[in-house]
Amino acid sequence: MIAVAVPDREGGVALALHRVSKSFDGRKVLDDARFAVRWGEVHALLGENGAGKSTIMNVATGVYIADTGVTEIDGVATRIASPIEASRHGIGMVHQHFRLVNRFTVAENILLAAGPEAGIRNLDQAARLVAAKGSEVGLGIDPAARVCDLSVAERQRVEILKVLILGARIVILDEPTAVLSDQEATSLLRFTRGLADTGHAVVLITHKLREVVGHSDRVTVMRGGRTVLADCPTTGLDEAELARQMIGERVAPLRHLEAHPGAPRLVVRDLTVARADGGKGVDGLSLELRGGEILGIAGVGGNGQQQLADCLIGLATASRGEIQLMGRPVVAASVAARRGGGLRMIPSDRFASGLIGDMSVAENLAMTHLAGRYSRWKGFLARGRMRRDARAAITTFNIAGATPERRARLLSGGNAQKLLLSREVDSELTVLVAHSPTRGLDVKACQFVHGAIQDSVAAGAACLLISDDLEEILSLSTRIAVMSRGRLVGEFPAREATAEKLGLLMMNHA
Amino acid sequence: MTEFLVTWLAGTPSYAMPLLLASLGLILSERAGVLNLSAEGIMAVGAMTAAVTTLLMGHPWLGLLAGAGAGIALSAVFGLAVVVFRVDQILAGLATVAIGIGITGVIGRPYVHQTVTGIDPVQLPVLSAIPVIGPVLFHQDPLFYLAVVLALMASWMLARTRFGLRWRAVGEDPAAADIAGVDVQVTQLLAVLASGALCGLAGGYLSVVSSQVWVEGMVAGRGWIAIGLVIFVRWSPVRAIFGALLFGGASALTPRLLATGANVPVYLMMMLPYLLTIAVLAIPAMFKLGRGPEPENLGTVYLRQDRR
Ligand SMILES: Nc1ncnc2c1ncn2[C@@H]1O[C@H](COP(=O)(O)OP(=O)(O)OP(=O)(O)O)[C@@H](O)[C@H]1O
Ligand SMILES: [Mg+2]
């Protein structure tokens, strides 16, 4: 069934959850939470990492079954026990981590998800529907493309199209903008407005306060599994007030770090790194990074940032050029040798190349110092010391939900990032490469990460901050360069840089 | 020389069939994400059950059916352990091998070395008269044709039907399949049972069709070779036909060469199929050819509320 606009119901409550509680392994994650979204509105759902936003929406869509609580659709109490039932009731969700089969084509994914009632019988029909729906709502995508060949933004389109093709009138988007560049995010937000205007109910989970203020009609705020602000119109709210609601205290603005550039610590000359598909990721890039400064590298994602970060830490091989760390050439050195020189890394994907999800917090923390601090006679592990250090790190970095024995994957995004940070920002740190270090983090966790970076730089370390979040670059860096097509195309001292100037450079060279 | 070639090639399918049937079963199970290492044990039970049933009832086809049924029964135990109780798949698979081999020893001992009524090859009219190709391809037992048809059907089912799409989705990304409304557990159980039926049939083929007698340990590692074969043919049922024929050809060579009285050490010859297994497994890995559709989620069990 294709979605039909329901203007007559506009303004009525589309989906409501009352008194929802849910525990995982005896830990209460939702505690008497509630939520309601109306037809024709964009409703923002806000909350710290681990507040339970994804969990409550997973309850609404039948992925999780709540311990207690009632779900109402159009005012009628409804039991939703599986995602497919949710879909029958017109609820669709784009998950934080996409749920597409990577090796299938777009059309195959649609056919897979479509039950018989959607009236799709074969691949051709699915493909036609993708094309038709895509042009109808302005999300064009090639139905024959394999998902693994698509960019993140394109995969998101597939997810949204899937939800719409299945006939969803209540559309839930879990942190859709966290993976998008500024431009892509803007167009997505415009799209959600269009959905609301055609009568859909849209739930938008986000950490970006400016998206709440600028692009939603109402907001619900969750904290620690409870709803602390329900159904509040966004007109008249400002970002500071929202932040206070969210974390229960005022957020101090970031102090500005004065640069005290010391000796060069990381020198890159004429670096070229190939991309997996054969093209050039980094193309003749040179830079110099001194102690006591944060060099921010701005740019639209996909302009070689990933290859640059990988090559610096030693995960990708340079086809040309040199890298000097503390005056020593390291372009051919191993990851271990570079780490020995004090190079540290915060990757953009925490679980792909930072933490090992299925290992414990203590093991993750000890991972980088197995040869020194945590090894005993004949290679046995100093497990007591591992546990003690982990406990200390959990306290100093305030990692919520962590114990030394808990698996890292069970931590929420912000807390996983804190865990990584506590390992990487150690006493031997000389150069920190931070690649989108706050992706998907809430305001408070962001502030924590930024503070930790500033502290280590104030203590003399050098930091290369690669990020597609302009705001982060502008507020944190002492010097800013713009990266485009694998090279740096402009550089300013931080106080001369503005979002407009950077944006212009990024556009002109795109 | 031509005669040697013809007898060798004509003998190949009967060596290849158990491998084809078993690897077909394993492909079905692995494409749904269940790593099934129990083939050796299930084949053993299938071989014993088929032979004993044939001895008691006098009908080889009934025996084969019973072999497949026994395979289903034993794999149901494995499937329950793995899919419902989430036992580690490798452990459960190895345990099932031990159980299977144990059972055959206990039940089958009184029937050992008794000649079983077998199934005779069918001679396709006209076609089997073609020189060389005729006896090789068109004078085989009916199961040869059945297995080839089954392989083609499995391939078509996986690639072309909605049912197959769901089946593969479970093996690739069970969380995505679940959200799409596929019952992950039921699909995986079904896949395990299908593999049990085919492995049981493969065992029955060994005792009732190729040797027409049952002895303990007659599966002799073919279950393990089938597991290797699945990787070699990159989880493709159609390629499994050719892979099985290649392995079968190597095995069929051993007795033929021995019969010619060639001066090659016997043990070296008997190692041939196993050496081939190692070689073909190493080659794709060495040259990075192995980018085929290995199911992405092979070997882990999905539970909806797991964090992933
Ligand atoms: N399947 C699960 N098993 C165990 N714990 C879980 C599970 N799912 C969520 N949790 C825990 O529940 C809490 C809330 O998680 P949830 O994913 O809802 O947070 P969130 O508000 O979406 O945070 P984020 O902004 O990081 O996405 C977290 O502490 C998390 O560790
Ligand atoms: Mg979440």
What does the pLDDT look like over A396-454, one tens digit per residue?
888 888 889 998 888 877 888 889 999 998 888 999 999 989 888 888 888 889 999 99
d(CA A479, CA A502): 12
Residue-wise pLDDT tens digits, B198-256:
999 999 999 999 889 999 999 989 999 999 889 888 899 999 999 999 888 888 887 77
The CA-based dihedral angle spanning residues A111, A116, A117, A119, taken in that order and rounded to the nearest 10 degrees = 60
Q: Is the pLDDT of residue A6 over 60?
A: no
Q: Is the pLDDT of residue A302 over 60?
A: yes
Question: Does B123 fall in a domain?
Answer: no
Count of other CB atoms within 10 angstroms of residue A317: 11
Q: With CB atoms and an 8 Å threshold, state whether A99 touches B176.
A: yes
Residues of B with CB under 8 A from a CB of A: 162, 165-166, 168-169, 172-173, 175-182, 293, 296, 304-305, 307-308
Average pLDDT, chain A: 87
Residues of A with CB under 8 A from a CB of B: 24, 63-64, 82-84, 87, 95, 97, 99-104, 108-109, 111-113, 115, 122, 409-410
Question: Does B74 fall in a domain?
Answer: yes
* pLDDT over 70 percentage in chain A: 96
- Predicted confidence band of residue A262 (pLDDT cuts 50, 70, 90): confident
Contacts of A413 in chain B (CB under 8 A): none
Please name the residue of chain A whose CA is at the shortest distance from the CA of residue B291.
A103
- Predicted confidence band of residue A190 (pLDDT cuts 50, 70, 90): very high
Residue-wise pLDDT tens digits, A11-24:
789 999 999 999 98
> How far from B48 is each of A382, B15, B36, B116, B210, CA to CA, in Å?
53, 18, 20, 11, 13
Per-residue buried b or exposed e for A420-457, using 16+ beta carbons within 10 Å of the residue's own CB: bbbbbbeeebbbbbbbbbbbbbbbbbbbbbbebbbebb
Strand partners, A92: A171
Q: Is A244 in contact with A251 (CB distance < 8 Å)?
A: yes
Determine phi and psi for A285, rounding to 5 degrees: -90, 140
- Predicted confidence band of residue B2 (pLDDT cuts 50, 70, 90): confident
Q: Is the pLDDT of residue A161 over 90?
A: yes
Domains of chain A: 13-247 (3.40.50.300), 260-342+431-510 (3.40.50.300), 359-427 (no CATH)
Q: Is the pLDDT of residue B284 over 70?
A: no
Write the CATH number for B281: 1.10.3470
Q: Is A40 in contact with A171 (CB distance < 8 Å)?
A: no
- pLDDT (mean) for A325-343: 90
Q: With CB atoms and an 8 Å threshold, state whether B178 touches A100.
A: no
The reported pLDDT for the residue numbered B308 is 47
The reported pLDDT for the residue numbered A7 is 44
Q: Is the pLDDT of residue A3 over 60?
A: no
* pLDDT over 90 percentage in chain B: 52
Strands (E), chain B: 122-123, 139-140
Identify the helix (H) or strand (E) that includes residue A92: strand A91-94
Distance (angstroms) between ligand 1 centre and the Cα of A26 equals 14
Average pLDDT, chain B: 87
d(CA A137, CA A124): 20
Which of these, A101, A99, A69, lies nearest to A84 by C-alpha position?
Answer: A99
Output the six-digit token pair for A41. Answer: 């509105």
Q: How many domains are contained in chain B?
A: 1
Q: With CB atoms and an 8 Å threshold, state whether B179 touches A24.
A: no
The reported pLDDT for the residue numbered B307 is 54
**Cβ-nearest to A103 among B177, B293, B308:** B293
Question: Does B127 fall in a domain?
Answer: no
The reported pLDDT for the residue numbered B246 is 87
Distance (angstroms) between ligand 1 centre and the Cα of B218 equals 53
Q: Is the pLDDT of residue A467 over 80?
A: yes
d(CA A26, CA A15): 28
Q: What is the DSSP letter of B209?
A: I
Mutate to test the pocket of ligand 1, among A29, A174, A228, A443 (most ligand atoms within 8 A of CB): A29
Q: Is the pLDDT of residue B73 over 80?
A: yes
- Predicted confidence band of residue B261 (pLDDT cuts 50, 70, 90): confident
Q: Is A464 exposed, middle or buried (0-12, 13-18, 19+ CB in 10 A)?
A: buried
Question: Does B126 fall in a domain?
Answer: no
> How far from B22 is each of A355, A447, B149, B221, B227, CA to CA, in Å?
39, 58, 14, 12, 8
Residue-wise pLDDT tens digits, B148-203:
999 999 999 998 888 999 999 999 999 889 888 888 999 999 999 999 999 999 99
d(CA A342, CA A422): 15
Pocket of ligand 1 (CB under 6 A): A 24, 29, 47, 49-55, 96, 401, 410-414; B 305-307
Q: Is the pLDDT of residue A226 over 70?
A: yes
The reported pLDDT for the residue numbered B7 is 80
Q: Is the pLDDT of residue A236 over 70?
A: yes
Q: Is the pLDDT of residue A124 over 80?
A: yes
Q: Is the pLDDT of residue B75 over 50?
A: yes
Q: Is the pLDDT of residue A1 over 60?
A: no
Identify the helix (H) or strand (E) that includes residue B212: none
B38 is in which domain, residue-wise? 2-118+141-306
- Predicted confidence band of residue B1 (pLDDT cuts 50, 70, 90): low
- pLDDT (mean) for A336-341: 90
- Mean pLDDT is lowest, of A75-79, A267-271, A316-320, B120-124, for B120-124
The reported pLDDT for the residue numbered B131 is 73
- Predicted confidence band of residue A287 (pLDDT cuts 50, 70, 90): very high
DSSP H helical segments within A296-442, as ranges?
Answer: 305-313, 335-340, 350-353, 361-366, 383-396, 413-424
Q: Which amino acid is at A498?
A: T
Residue-wise pLDDT tens digits, B6-57:
888 888 888 899 999 999 999 999 999 999 999 999 999 999 999 999 999 9
Q: With CB atoms and an 8 Å threshold, state whether A112 touches B173.
A: no
d(CA A118, CA B193): 30
Which of these, B293, B296, B191, B290, lies nearest to A100 by C-alpha position?
Answer: B296
Please name the residue of chain B whose CA is at the shortest distance from the CA of residue A88.
B181
Distance (angstroms) between ligand 1 centre and the Cα of A175 equals 13
Question: Does B178 fall in a domain?
Answer: yes
Contacts of B180 in chain A (CB under 8 A): 83-84, 99, 109, 112-113
Output the six-digit token pair for A342. Answer: 């004090």
Helices B184-204 and B2-31 cross at an angle (nearest 10°) of 160
Q: With CB atoms and an 8 Å threshold, state whether B179 touches A112.
A: no
| A460 dihedral zone (left: phi>0; alpha: psi -120 to 50; beta) | left
Bridge-based pairing state of the strands A479-484 and A487-493: antiparallel
Cα A456 to chain centroid, rounded: 24
Which residue, chain included where needed, has tokens 């090992």? A356
CA distance between the termini of chain A = 41
Q: Is the pLDDT of residue B130 over 50?
A: yes
The reported pLDDT for the residue numbered A382 is 80
- pLDDT (mean) for A226-233: 90
d(CA B208, CA B117): 7
Identify the helix (H) or strand (E) that includes residue A63: none
Q: With CB atoms and an 8 Å threshold, state whether A104 touches B296.
A: no
- Predicted confidence band of residue A2 (pLDDT cuts 50, 70, 90): very low
Mutation target among B179, B184, B288 for the A interface, most CBs of A within 10 A: B179
Question: Does B78 fall in a domain?
Answer: yes
